[in-house]
Amino acid sequence: MTFRQAEGLDPLPSPVALGEVSQECRAILWQYVLKLVTVSPRQDQVTGYEIWPSDPWRKAFQNWHVRRKFLPLDELDQTLNARLPFLKNAVWYWTTSNLFDFLTFLMREPGLDHLERAFAGIFEESRLAYRIADKTIFPAASTEEGQTIVAAFADLRGTEYGGSRQHLRSAGTLLTAGDWAGSIRESVHAVESLSRVIEPTANTLSDALKKIRSQGHMNPNLSRGLEALYNYSSDEQGIRHAQVFEGAPAVDQTDAVYMFGACAAFLSFLIGRSGTA
């Protein structure tokens, strides 16, 4: 909070709405990235031009040029003078979806893992309605919801939870990309995958819940509520089949964000409860 905000002369900072990236966030991102790529540029021995200061950055832009833009590598100008305008344009002017796609690409490049923690901190400082976990950007309407989802990814770090973690990661990616029905399907698949780890013989989530309930680790009313939520998305005319059946219910961002957060919390709950068995 600035002095003017404390004195009531300027409005207090407010959370940024879903689908938006504030100028504050773009400015801080650019400050951070600019420092990284210009801290100690190296000189190309052939051309004499300054090039990217480290192999990870140079390889990342080669991969973006070839594997994402599908352009010839020999046409890529790798000098700082050529790359900096591109990088600045991406941070300052690209749409939210394009910028997030680019940031996700960078975080997942070998040697650039450190960007995840930095980008996550910038998002929080800028009060974006998004959080970062598992090198994935996902919507989070509140700080508490963001913490719940980050905690779910942490709980799913065990190798036995790999399938569930991948589904949750896909749900976040699809949610950010605007595929509401796809995100809901992946959120539910994350829960289904975990249910089979808890109860290998389970064909449905209900079977896994029955096992936990029979051991006295779950309130019956809570169990029924969770099953109702699951059934809402699993009915043959429901969300998970929205692209199969004509007349299936349409879903929007609110539905998808809720299901993503609810399933993430559900995953942590199931892991905690099953661990006491």
For the stretch 58-91, pLDDT in tens is 889 899 999 999 999 988 887 777 888 999 999 9
pLDDT at 20: 83
pTM score:
0.67
pLDDT at 28: 95
Domains of the chain, residue spans: 15-128, 134-277
Higher pLDDT, 199 or 62: 62
d(CA 21, CA 205): 37
Higher pLDDT, 245 or 97: 97
Percent of the chain whose predicted confidence (pLDDT) is above 90: 18
Q: Is the pLDDT of residue 13 over 60?
A: no
Q: Which residues, 6+ apart, have CB-to-CB distance to 275 below 8 Å?
A: none
Of 30-34, 67-71, 162-166, 237-241, minimum mean pLDDT range = 237-241
Which CATH code fits 134-277?
1.20.120
Find the angle CA(232)-CA(234)-CA(237) to the nearest 5 degrees.
85
Q: Is the pLDDT of residue 122 over 90?
A: yes
pLDDT in tens, 227-258: 776 676 665 444 444 443 344 457 777 788 88
Work out the average pLDDT over 267-275: 77
d(CA 222, CA 269): 11
Q: Which residues, 6+ apart, have CB-to-CB distance to 117 below 8 Å?
A: none
- Find tokens 């600045």 and name the residue: 88
Work out the average pLDDT over 168-185: 85
The token pair at 88 is 């600045």
How many CB atoms are located within 10 Å of the residue 99 CB? 19
φ/ψ (deg, to 5) at 51: -125, 180
Work out the average pLDDT over 35-61: 65
DSSP 221-243: HHHHHHHHHHHHHHSTTSGGGTT
pLDDT at 39: 64
pLDDT at 4: 52
pLDDT at 247: 45
